[in-house]
Structure 1
Amino acid sequence: MRRGLAVLALSLLHSFALSLFAQTTRNGVGPEQRYYAVHSFADDWLVYDEAAKAYVPYLPEIHADAPAVSASIDLESNRHYQLLLYTDTDTYVFINAALKKQLLGGRWYTFSIDSLYNAYRQPRVLLSIYGSAGVAGKQMIMGYPKSILQKPVVLSDDNLSVRPRTFSVYQNFFGLGLLFLLAIHALLFSLYRRAFLVLYDPRDLFALRVRDESFLINRPLSRTVLLFLLSLSFVMGYLFLFVQSRNVNVFSSRTLLLDQQNFGALLLYYLLVSVLVFLSFLGKYLMLQVVGSLYRFESVVNIHFFKVVQSSLLFFTAIGFLATIVIFNGPTIENLTNYLLIPFTVFYLVRLVLLYLVIRAQAPIKSLYLISYLCIVELVPLLIGVRFAL
């Protein structure tokens, strides 16, 4: 009998809680009740346990006097939502242990999940509220803004929770981008087959004796070379967005790229990065001309530029192929930066040695002058680039 009464009491309490949540869902939450409640963090609070050296679930009997409470916010799964915060006393908000904002008591505050994701580039962040004991008077809700033109939606079943389907704009972009790159390379192979076979030949790359009268070398800014440079720029732009999609910001790309992540914005980013890469190659050739004239290396400048273009085409095309496998078939790679540094460092060091051997075989140049020339045009830009990339 007592067991039956206990079950009945629990059922009544559960029904009462569901009715309160359903009423809140219908009426709205947050400032002026302008948001639909997606998820409440009332049962997700955490506190830091000094003994365990870790965050543990909040228990009113133990942590009622805790000066700070925290919650893990899933940014990746809650894109386009708003995080709503309310405290009845003045408190401070910390995100990943860094002070974010002061909250005045008795007011609602909203944080855009998209903005937080773009700022931190992490799937989850730890939000902490410091300044008052326990969780009394604190509310944190994941909400979705109501539309002014939207008609009220009446749910027939209060237990049903419907959320927008998550989708990956990057995935769609990479699929079309791959087709675009394949079309460009197929067109170059059809129109400039001889140049294609030379530029993409590893044996020709490592050949120390170079024919400087070759049409690809003696005319470095010809239409053929510029078209292959443009295709290389498209490949590098593709790789740039691939790295960006894995939350690795290269050259402060958060300030370079816009905040939107729809397909049109990604296409704009792609064209912008590709144009910048293309202009950087032209700037490198201009730098080779200037430094080469200072060292009186005019005869090897074109060979140097040709080897740079040829090695870059082979390396970045191979990296692009591996990136495509990872995008469509491979698992998510944690700490991608560590995996990027090794192949890129090896590539630039091997290319530096190759350039030294090729130029040394072309003309009787003193090694000290040649090393100084290569350090200025190869190592210094590389060191500066690594400094700003990391």
Structure 2
Amino acid sequence: MAFFRSIALSTFVAALFVTAVFAQSRTEGIGPANQYYPVHDFHDDFQVYDEATKAYVPYIVEQHADQTALSTYLDLESNRHYNLLISTKQDGYLFINASLKRKLRAGEWSVFSIDSLYRVYRQPEVFLTLYGAPGLNDKRLFIGYPKSATQKLVVLRDDNLSVRPRTFSVYNNFFGLGLLFLLASHAFLFSFYHRAFLRFYSLRDLLSLRAQEESFLINRPLSSTNVLFILNLSFVVAYLIVFVQSRNLDVFVSRRLLGAQNLGAVLGEFIVLSGLAFIVLMGKYIALEVLGGLYKLQSIINIHFFKVLQSSMLFFTTLTLLLVVIAYNTASMTWSESALLLPVLVFYLMRLAFLYIVIRSQEPIKNLYLFSYLCIVELIPLIIGLRFAL
């Protein structure tokens, strides 16, 4: 009996020792100076490119031990406020979305802020590739959270449970409030400027080549009525820009222009964008006045500006409503720049041709003058806009 008791006691002590050793190793953490808690280990997530199937397949030690490039997807949205930690035993390279980003020094940890990666790439996830020595043991890839100097050590359990921030979008509340605001602004114009509203939002009136030059909307482009409708169009354009930004598509080359992190900042961006759109629309009328004087088209300038407003109101309002309906009914839909850019390009080219027909029917003018006039006021701003946007 004493013999069995000694064996049981020795086994119990050994178990306690092993548990203590493993617990200690887990609390030490990972990364530089073990300053990070591991949130996720990509050891079992790596993929390799298979030439036979022309696709990425899961890494299998028996089949892919000689592979030098291992890839995996990194979910940026679900891992905000964490860090990406990379280490290789031999020199290697890090590729993000098939683009070389950094050389990995042997035995050194490279730490990336996932928030910074999200601000740079504006995508829900990115594709990482570690290139270096063959095999899986050469590469270590983790998502970690930095330890606090005043924080008590936490023993990480083997159940792999981790606390992550809830995924949220700062745009959700804004879109609801924005739609209510646009509904209220359109309702205001419909109630107090009923005749003008029906005229601006009439497709039949837009396609009419013979505009009513004596109309109160055409004779006074900068009247209070027209200015209110221009301001309302500015709200619609600003809402559309914020919507496109929320789909992780950069409207401007510099990502610092639109990078709000809370509802108040998004509302501020909406107000600024509305002001910029209003200034551009009003500036366009001034440009038409100047060029109209040079080309002796003063009698057609107001009709030209009215047709531009009519077409823009119908198109951008319809496009905004269509995109919002699609977004709310297909939450998992992948948005692309080409899918959003194509209808805008088609609209501007069709409007350019339509304006040529309208002006040609109103004024006896040489085609060369008319083409140069329309290129300056319609086509060149479009080309410049496409150069610096999207």
Matching of residues 141-290 of structure 1 within 5 Å:
141-147=142-148, 158=159, 160-252=161-253, 254-258=255-259, 260-290=260-290
> Residues 28-81 of structure 1, C-alpha deviation per residue, up to 9 Å, x if partnerless?
332343333221111122233344433333333443343332222122332332
CA distance in 1, matches of 2:19, 2:314: 61
Please state how far the C-alpha of 1:339 moved relative to its aligned partner: 2.8
Corresponding residue for residue 321 of structure 2: 321
Aligned to 2:14: none
Q: Secondary structure at the match of 2:74?
A: strand
* Structure 2 Cα separation of the partners of residues 21 and 92 of structure 1: 32
Q: Is the 8 A contact 1:22 1:158 kept in 2?
A: no
3-state SS, counterpart of residue 216 of structure 2: coil
For 2:344 and 2:138, the matched residues in 1 are separated by 52
Cα pair 2:90 2:106 within 8 Å, conserved: yes
1:310 aligns with 2:310: yes
Deviations, residues 218-276 of structure 1 (Å, cap 9, x unaligned) = 22223322222121111111111222222322342525323x43223322332232222
* CA–CA separation in structure 2 for the residues paired with 1:309 and 1:230: 11
Cα distance between partner residues in 2 of 1:114 and 1:87: 23
Segments of 5+ residues of structure 1 without an aligned counterpart are 1-15
Query: Within the alignment, does 1:297 sit opposite 2:297 as a pair?
Result: yes
For the 8 Å contact 2:92–2:131, the answer to whether it is kept is yes
Structure 2, unpaired ranges of 5+:
1-16
Alpha-carbon offset, residue 353 of structure 1: 3.1
1:212 partner amino acid? E
Q: Contact 1:36–1:143 at 8 Å: present in 2 too? A: yes
Q: What's the counterpart of residue 77 of structure 2?
A: 76
Q: What is the deviation of 1:292? A: 1.0
- Give, in whole Å, the separation in 2 of the partners of 1:367 and 1:88: 70
Identity of aligned residues (%): 60
Secondary structure of 1:210's aligned partner: coil
Aligned length: 374
Cα deviation digits, residues 81-132 of structure 1 (max 9, x gap): 2111122333221112221112223322211222223323333322122232
Deviates more, 1:30-39 or 1:175-184: 30-39
Q: Which stretch shifts more, 309-318 or 97-106?
A: 97-106
8 Å CA contact retained: 2:42, 2:142: yes
2:85/2:143 contact within 8 Å kept: yes
Distance, in Å, in 1 between the alignment partners of 2:129 and 2:19 is: 28
Q: Which amino acid aligns with 1:365?
A: I
Deviations 1:256-310 (A, max 9, x none): 323x432233223322322222222122112212211110111111111111111
Q: C-alpha distance in 2, partners of 1:233/1:18?
A: 65
1:352 Cα offset (Å): 2.2
Comparing 152-161 with 25-34, which one deviates more in the overlay?
A: 152-161
CA–CA distance in 1 between the matches of 2:216 and 2:26?
71
Partner-residue secondary structure (3-state), 1:333:
coil
Superposed CA offset, 1:342-375 (max 9, x none): 4223322332233223323333333443233222
Give the partner amino acid of 2:108.
R
1:369 matched residue in structure 2: 369
So what's the TM-score if we normalise by structure 1? Answer: 0.85
Task: Name the amino acid aligned to 2:376.
Answer: I
Q: Look up the equivalent residue of 2:217 and give its one-letter code.
A: L
Once residues 22 and 227 of structure 1 are traced to their aligned partners in structure 2, the CA distance between those partners, rounded to angstroms, is: 68
Contact 1:72 1:124 in 2 (8 A): yes
Indicate the SS of the match to 1:233: helix
- More divergent stretch after superposition (361-370 vs 288-297): 361-370
Amino acid of the structure 2 residue aligned with 1:217: I
Contact 2:47–2:71 (8 Å) recurs in 1 = yes
Conserved? CA contact 2:37–2:145, under 8 Å: yes
Q: 1:272 to 1:128 in 2, by over 3 A?
A: same
- 1:330 correspondence with 2:326: no
2:379 partner letter: L
Cα distance in 1 for residues equivalent to 2:310 and 2:328: 28
In 2, Cα distance between equivalents of 1:346 and 1:363:
26
> What's the CA shift for 1:137?
4.3
